Structure 1
Amino acid sequence: MARLINFLLKAAAFGVLLTLVAVIAVYFLASQSLPTYDKEVALPGVTAPVEIVRDNANVPHIFGSFGASDEDVYFGLGYAHAQDRLWQMTVLRRTAQGRLSEVFGARTLESDNLMRRLDIYRLAQQSVAVQSAGTQAALRAYSAGVNARLLEINEHALGRGAPEMFLFPAPVAPWQPADSLALLKLLAVQSSTQMQNEILRTRTSLALQDPDRLRDILPDAPGNGISVLPEYSDLFPSLKQFSNAASPQPSTWPLPERGFSSASNAWAAAPKRSATGGTLLANDPHNTLTAPSAWYLARLELATGGVIGATLPGIPAVLSGRSDELGWGITASYLDDQDLYIEELNPENTEEYKTPIGFASFRTRRAIINVKDATPVTSTLRWTENGPVLPGGMFNLSSITPPGHVVSLAWTALTPKDTSMTAAIDLMRSQNVNQAITAAEAFVAPSFNLVLADQTQIAMKTIGAVPQRSSRHQSKGRLPTPGWRRENRWQGRAPYAANPIFRNPRGGILGNTNNKLVERPFPNHISYDWGDSQRIHRWQRLMQTREVHTRDSFIEAQQDTVSFAARTLLPLIGADLWFTGEAAPQGTPERKRQTALNLLAQWNGEMNEHLPEPLIYAAWVRALQNRLIEDDIGPLSNAFAHVDPLFIERVFRDIDGASAWCDIRQSALIESCSDISRLALDDAILWIDETYGGTLESLRWGDAHQANHIHEAMGRIPVLRYFVNIRQSTSGGDNTLQRGLTSGRGSAPFTNTHASGYRGVYDFADPDGSVFVTSTGQSGHFLSRYYDDLSQLWRRGEYIPMSLDENLARAASVGVTRILPR
């Protein structure tokens, strides 16, 4: 027995030793790819010395020495991107190319199949030639910087460049200009949802017995659109005399520092609405939360001056940021830039489809997708004159496609003459609002609302190609239409001058929260499907409750967590329930309902992570929407993952008979909206009890609304996921300015999955007092201290300085990389 125990002890010790050796080996291999920031290195591709000064947040400030050109600075950006985000860049490139399955196997086949059919990488290759000469030079230099880092990794055996490369080994091809253009097109893929809107509208219209109810469940945004605010004194006449006084002089005291696809916020204030007399601009683009963040902070010292802000690794441009003279921010415009077409096949020859002048042959190409550990998949890609043909298995297209037909997609991004990169590069070099608006004309896709501020002006312009539709279009672009009818086909691009523009409004403030911008008759409508209809109301209130704003008041608005939707809906859905219940014993469902209603009756709608009320409210309206729509549209109700406040409001205000949704068709009784509201509240309380337990008063919204920054490759691997994923309790919700869009599905429907990956506030009275932050950190290497160092600042609503002062960057630097020509 003693010998057995002795043997087991030795075996256990040996096992522990082996585990320790394995951990050390893994750590050693992974740490080899950690970049060294303080060094001097000679590399090919640069014509003069370049310095990359990393400030204390690891933001690279890239300077060319005397004799260096802008191309050398772009080289430095490519090198810095590859130092910190090489894995992310290669995965994004493979995504655009439709080659993920070579690395990840069959699980990414659907993505590869779609990307091959959209053909965005081939279109990107063709678009290189249409860029301006300066942009082509910038793309070549940026590519050379990335490739110089790849050369350095190979020459010095730097752990393959990223720890993920050991788990998912695959050759890394040299970076090319087309790769950057493809990533910008990939951003367009991730930004537009008009195709999905058309499909859902079609499927819902087919499922509904009463066609009039379609306008309830998929309502149009009401009103004429909001983009500028009125004169403050028009709202508060008693203050007119004060507002007509001279603008206050800029303050000399330093302002205190303070730290969602498509979605975003951006707003600007003119000097007369600024406490310091300088323009202000705030921007926070929203995207799917990932680790690392999609955004990367950088500063470029170009011949036209310094530029600092948010870049996307792989793209040599600051997409949201500022120079000394100009600030710019972006929001998703929700432009209707996609149309689906039903294409009729020739019954005598299915290789042909119907056109306005007869049958024509599809343009076809064979595609082979190599799949790791599996047989390659071969498919035939087809295009019509309208665009690529999508198979019926994608997006449930088969459910809306008649026999003998296929579906094709028209989309502004699917052009070989996409000059969006030239527009992005020229925008960085612009010195004022007027130049920026002119530069943005070359932008094709994705479409943005570009919010601008220079020293004296503010403006907002919708940029991106707007399809020119015929006024006789059968569905006005809202439903798939016959592709062979001439009136349904696009007629080119609408004039850039027709894109909405708002410049120097009399009220001094403009902005966008993905809300409806304008009310125009078709075909000049811009869109029928806008983004969030709720945040804009809270923004209006915050902007107009004070006459002048500061950098801090703009930050306050970015961080605001009050839900206008909750304040609107609770009085409606609880109208017949407040304080009407009879006394009920402790622990009974009736008592819990009373407790929930009492809590909500005293709540101000703030989606604070420490409060129970946001969770009760969110669970209630989610259960309510499910009860309202399940019996009418059946399994299709799963497609409505998020609560639409406009739908709930229409139902409970009985707009155009919308209260018909409250009656359950399958029951003999005729239920009222109060009945359904009460049942939904009971559903919510039961779900909360089963999921969280305890008392309602002890709930925390932040426990349900955790921000999940998931590593896209290793985030679901056991053990590793605990090292690479970032989870945080967060405030906010679907309809707050500090937006934290919930997942809406599964056992954790309120997980925060889509939020502001970048926040920036630019103050032109004190430009170096401007601030910015990203949702994780600069590095994509999970062993780096810069992997998640910004995430806690982001969670707490804090920022880091956004300064173009070279001395400040050098004084607090964590390393200086000096690149010399080889």
Structure 2
Amino acid sequence: MTRIFKWLFRLTTATFILIFAFGALVYYFASRSLPDYDKELQTGYVSAPVEIVRNNANVPHIFGETDPDVFFALGYAHAQDRLWQMTTMRRTAQGRLSEVFGAQTLDIDKLLRRLGIYTLAVSSVESLSERSRVLMTAYANGVNARISEVNEESLGRGAPEMFIFNAPIAPWRVADSISIQKLMSLQLAGHLDEEVLRARVSLALSDETRLKDILPDHPGKGVADLPEFAQLVPGVPKYVQTADLKSHPLSPFPERGLAGASNAWAAAPARSASGGTLMANDPHLGLTAPAIWYLARLELSSGGVIGGTIPGIPAILTGRSAQLGWGLTSAYVDDQDVFIEEINPNNPDQYLGPNGYQDFVTRKTIIKVSEQEPITLTLRWTDNGPVLPASNFDLGTVTPKGHVAAVSWTVLSPADTSMNAAIDLMFAQDVREAIRNSEAFLAPAQNLTLVDSDTIAMKVIGALPRRSARHQSQGRLPSLGSKVENRWQGRLPYSSNPEFVAPVGGILGNTNNKTVDRAFPLHVSFVWGDSQRVQRWQRLMQGRAVHTRDSFIEAQLDTVSVTARSLLPLVAADLWFTAGTTAQGTQERQRKEALDLLANWNGEMNEHLPEPLIYAAWMRALQDRLAKDELGPLISEFKHVEPLFIERVFRDVDGASAWCDVIQSAPVETCTDVARMALDDAIIWINERYGDNFESLRWGDAHQATHDHPVLGEVPLLRTFVNIRQSTSGGDNTLQRGRTSGEGDDPFHNVHAAGYRGVYDFADPDSSVFIISTGQSGHPLSRYYDDLAQLWRRGEYIPMSLDEGLARAAAVGVTTLLP
């Protein structure tokens, strides 16, 4: 027995030693790619020594003799911290994910090849200005210097992920940066989805007049009546199998409702307590680990600039210099149109144009797939744009037999000059120069908010398609591509883009709300990203005679939902305090407890409160009950509560209360009946998911921010180390926006929020602050992988100073790049 015990002990000990040794070996190889921030590197690309001073938040402050040297160092710093992220985004734009990840990403690759994003990026290099070409080449050389260093010194392949998904890293090219900029356009685009959905809902509803309820126009005049889609394009099939392009973590195509959002606002000196201009900006994108944003400071010939960059793109996209501050919000310009192209029944290689049948422009491309045979894809383009298969974007549901769908999109330009504008903006010295420098910007269309020492402004930058006033659907529905009146006629002049300079009230801003009310075809958009946050913003801005940096921070972090304050009195009007005495543990008792809590709630979506969870679950169940019988399977497309829809129904605007009656049932249900049933649905769901004690509920348990690694985030064990999950406040319609997923077992997970926040005070610029949602490093073993995440969650910031002395005093390392 003693002998057996000894052998078991030895075997157990040996097993632990092997596990420890294996873990130590994995850690050794993974840690080899951790950057050394305190060193000298000899390189032949800089004209004089360049310093990268890393402050205690790992923000690189770059000092060089020339602008190309500074951009070289930025490329090097990006590649030090985010090489895996950069190369993965490049593969996505190239349509080459399947070479590494296999068949699971094949549909994404096919669509990117059909759109031709990378091919268009390569051709756009010729459209760069001389300055942009020089600086972007220097940036690419900086990235390649890091890649060479990794290879020559065996630095763990540059990132731990490279060991799992081993693939050679090609040298960085100027076109790669343009392609990533174009990739961001895909992530911010939503009009294609809206156009197709509008057509599908039009076909599904028995009463066409109800379309304006479920897909309401934002308040304001100028929208003309539209024909039914069935009249425009007859013979549409009822159902077509579609490919799931959006659920994969590497997909650049957003789910509906997650196409882009942001906040930005500014105050003129007259509305500032300090006497200087103020500005706040927080662009919203899908949450990932690491964040898409990377903080950096560049000392240029025109002065220092500091703010948020996206690794792979050599520009401060949102930030400030000593003279100028700039921020971005999605402008929701209608820059996508779907065209239904008729195929020649006698020749499938032709489609109908305005002057008869003409040939598709075709070419073949080969997609390599890991562990499978390569796939040859035939790409087709019409005059209107690339032809997409019926399985993409649900296009098959609106495309009749004998037709195909093509897409016009401003990002599909072979002469994209957007990078010229992004680079030139950093050199601008005042608002007017910044507006002029942004004319070259094409896509994604943005509201550019600007402040200098005494002026505030906002300008829509990006291409606005020129449409005919005779367009059949005004761009709101797919239209026949053969008709001249439906086709784009170039771009509207930049001077026609909405512009607001030095407003009399001294305050301007945008929450993706409707900014102008112009008649089609100068309308900008029929679909906007917000009709709710802007109401709270207006109240906070006008509630003070003057503002401070702190009041701007307070507004940026505000979690009060005007949507909840507006909808609850409508929906619960006949339910408040109507319950009699009820027994403990009954459905009626729980309904009464829920209503009592909501009756005394101020609408604050605080993570520690139960009311936000009850409210959110109720509104979700209510919308489902209102629309499911009319829309059928299409209800799955409405993953988020549409506040204007519920408001129209409960106010009975133009007879919208008809949605409350369940078509399939004999009784005539009232809106009060549906509200009560929906509340019961919500209570049952909460009981099953979180328990039946309302007092112990926490909104933050449901509203967790999901900073997940796009590749390793679903791998057992590894996800524990690479994913960052946090309890968060806010919601779909609060200024501190935490957009929920709207699907699955955790429909209230916070998946889309402000990955960057910045607040700038030009009376005391060095008191400006900023933050990103994770950390600077993309390396899970780095202490800078998630060090900023808790600050972000708590609504804290780090200094945003251009003071070189402060950067050096807090330096954790200085990298010197030598000629």
Distance of 2:259 and 2:356 partners within structure 1: 39
Residue 101 of structure 2 corresponds to which residue in structure 1?
Answer: 104
Shift of 1:368: 1.1
Q: What do the CA deviations read for 1:248-304 (whole angstroms, capped 9, x no partner)?
A: xxxxxxxxxxxx730000000000000010000100000000000000000000000
SS at match of 1:459: strand
SS at match of 1:354: strand
Residue 88 of structure 1 corresponds to which residue in structure 2?
Answer: 85
Residue 241 of structure 1 corresponds to which residue in structure 2?
Answer: none
SS at match of 2:393: coil
SS at match of 1:441: coil
Distance of 1:332 and 1:72 partners within structure 2: 32
Q: Residue type matched to 1:294 in 2?
A: I
Residue 32 of structure 2 corresponds to which residue in structure 1?
Answer: 32
Residue 333 of structure 1 corresponds to which residue in structure 2?
Answer: 331
- TM-score, normalising length from structure 2? 0.95
Report 1:732-751 matches (<5 A): 732-751=730-749
Q: Which runs of 5 or more structure 2 residues have no equivalent in the other structure?
A: 223-257
Residue 226 of structure 2 corresponds to which residue in structure 1?
Answer: none
Distance of 1:396 and 1:803 partners within structure 2: 48
Native 8 Å contact 2:59 2:297 kept in 1:
yes
Distance of 2:3 and 2:629 partners within structure 1: 70
Residue 67 of structure 2 corresponds to which residue in structure 1?
Answer: 70
Q: 1:603 aligns with which of 601, 604, 625?
A: 601
Shift of 1:379: 1.4
Q: What do the CA deviations read for 1:303-362 (whole angstroms, capped 9, x no partner)?
A: 000000000000000000000000000000000000000000000001000000111110
Residue 240 of structure 1 corresponds to which residue in structure 2?
Answer: none
Residue 759 of structure 2 corresponds to which residue in structure 1?
Answer: 761
Native 8 Å contact 1:63 1:300 kept in 2:
yes
Native 8 Å contact 2:686 2:692 kept in 1:
no
Q: Which runs of 5 or more structure 1 residues have no equivalent in the other structure?
A: 226-259
Shift of 1:399: 1.2
Residue 651 of structure 2 corresponds to which residue in structure 1?
Answer: 653
Distance of 1:5 and 1:745 partners within structure 2: 53
The yes-or-no answer on 1:377 pairing with 2:399 is no
Native 8 Å contact 1:512 1:536 kept in 2:
yes
Native 8 Å contact 1:337 1:412 kept in 2:
yes
Residue 219 of structure 1 corresponds to which residue in structure 2?
Answer: 216
Q: 1:791 aligns with which of 789, 798, 810?
A: 789
Distance of 1:640 and 1:280 partners within structure 2: 37
Shift of 1:4: 3.9
Q: What do the CA deviations read for 1:363-401 (whole angstroms, capped 9, x no partner)?
A: 111111111111212211100000000000112211111
Q: Residue type matched to 2:282 in 1?
A: D
Q: What do the CA deviations read for 1:570-599 (whole angstroms, capped 9, x no partner)?
A: 000000000001110010000000000000
SS at match of 2:314: coil
SS at match of 1:317: strand
Residue 137 of structure 2 corresponds to which residue in structure 1?
Answer: 140
The yes-or-no answer on 1:170 pairing with 2:181 is no
Q: Residue type matched to 2:74 in 1?
A: L
Residue 9 of structure 2 corresponds to which residue in structure 1?
Answer: 9
Report 1:257-406 matches (<5 A): 261-406=259-404
Distance of 2:763 and 2:14 partners within structure 1: 66
Distance of 1:69 and 1:735 partners within structure 2: 45
Q: Residue type matched to 1:412 in 2?
A: T
Native 8 Å contact 1:624 1:681 kept in 2:
yes
Shift of 1:3: 4.1
Q: 2:157 aligns with which of 160, 166, 169?
A: 160
Shift of 1:9: 3.0
Q: 1:570 aligns with which of 564, 568, 571?
A: 568
Residue 239 of structure 2 corresponds to which residue in structure 1?
Answer: none
Residue 245 of structure 1 corresponds to which residue in structure 2?
Answer: none
Distance of 1:380 and 1:93 partners within structure 2: 22
Q: Residue type matched to 1:397 in 2?
A: L
Shift of 1:41: 1.2
Residue 773 of structure 1 corresponds to which residue in structure 2?
Answer: 771
Shift of 1:217: 0.3
Residue 207 of structure 1 corresponds to which residue in structure 2?
Answer: 204
Q: What do the CA deviations read for 1:414-444 (whole angstroms, capped 9, x no partner)?
A: 0111100000000000000000000010000
Native 8 Å contact 2:455 2:502 kept in 1:
yes
Native 8 Å contact 1:332 1:514 kept in 2:
yes
Distance of 1:576 and 1:697 partners within structure 2: 24
Distance of 2:750 and 2:55 partners within structure 1: 30
Q: Residue type matched to 2:783 in 1?
A: R
Native 8 Å contact 1:53 1:60 kept in 2:
yes
- Identity of counterpart residues, as a percentage? 66
Shift of 1:6: 3.6
Q: Residue type matched to 1:533 in 2?
A: S
Residue 188 of structure 2 corresponds to which residue in structure 1?
Answer: 191
Q: What do the CA deviations read for 1:58-92 (whole angstroms, capped 9, x no partner)?
A: 0000001xxx2100000000000000000000000
Distance of 1:108 and 1:766 partners within structure 2: 49
SS at match of 2:338: strand
Native 8 Å contact 1:224 1:518 kept in 2:
no
SS at match of 2:439: helix
Q: Residue type matched to 2:164 in 1?
A: L
Distance of 1:205 and 1:165 partners within structure 2: 48
Residue 119 of structure 1 corresponds to which residue in structure 2?
Answer: 116
Q: Residue type matched to 1:57 in 2?
A: A
Q: 1:79 aligns with which of 73, 76, 81?
A: 76
Residue 231 of structure 1 corresponds to which residue in structure 2?
Answer: none
The yes-or-no answer on 1:478 pairing with 2:463 is no
Distance of 2:376 and 2:668 partners within structure 1: 55
Distance of 1:324 and 1:312 partners within structure 2: 21
Residue 554 of structure 1 corresponds to which residue in structure 2?
Answer: 552
After TM superposition, where is structure 1 displaced by more than 6 Å over at least 4 residues in a row?
A: none
Shift of 1:97: 0.3
Q: Residue type matched to 2:686 in 1?
A: I
Shift of 1:18: 1.3
Question: How many aligned residue pairs are there?
Answer: 784
Distance of 1:560 and 1:110 partners within structure 2: 40
Q: Residue type matched to 2:658 in 1?
A: A
The yes-or-no answer on 1:523 pairing with 2:521 is yes
Shift of 1:8: 3.1
Residue 808 of structure 1 corresponds to which residue in structure 2?
Answer: 806
SS at match of 1:149: helix
Native 8 Å contact 1:714 1:721 kept in 2:
yes
Distance of 1:710 and 1:649 partners within structure 2: 35
Q: Residue type matched to 1:414 in 2?
A: L
The yes-or-no answer on 1:581 pairing with 2:579 is yes
Q: 2:683 aligns with which of 682, 685, 694?
A: 685
Distance of 2:178 and 2:761 partners within structure 1: 31
Q: Residue type matched to 2:69 in 1?
A: D
Shift of 1:170: 0.3
Distance of 1:671 and 1:581 partners within structure 2: 20
Q: Residue type matched to 1:673 in 2?
A: C
Shift of 1:143: 0.3
Native 8 Å contact 2:71 2:139 kept in 1:
yes
Distance of 2:264 and 2:594 partners within structure 1: 36
Residue 248 of structure 2 corresponds to which residue in structure 1?
Answer: none
Shift of 1:44: 2.5
Q: What do the CA deviations read for 1:157-193 (whole angstroms, capped 9, x no partner)?
A: 1000000000110000000000000000001111111
Distance of 2:333 and 2:815 partners within structure 1: 42
Q: 1:513 aligns with which of 508, 511, 514?
A: 511
Q: Residue type matched to 1:201 in 2?
A: R
SS at match of 2:213: helix
- TM-score, normalising length from structure 1? 0.95
Q: Residue type matched to 1:61 in 2?
A: H
Residue 50 of structure 1 corresponds to which residue in structure 2?
Answer: 50
The yes-or-no answer on 1:450 pairing with 2:444 is no
SS at match of 1:731: coil
SS at match of 2:602: coil
Q: Residue type matched to 1:107 in 2?
A: Q
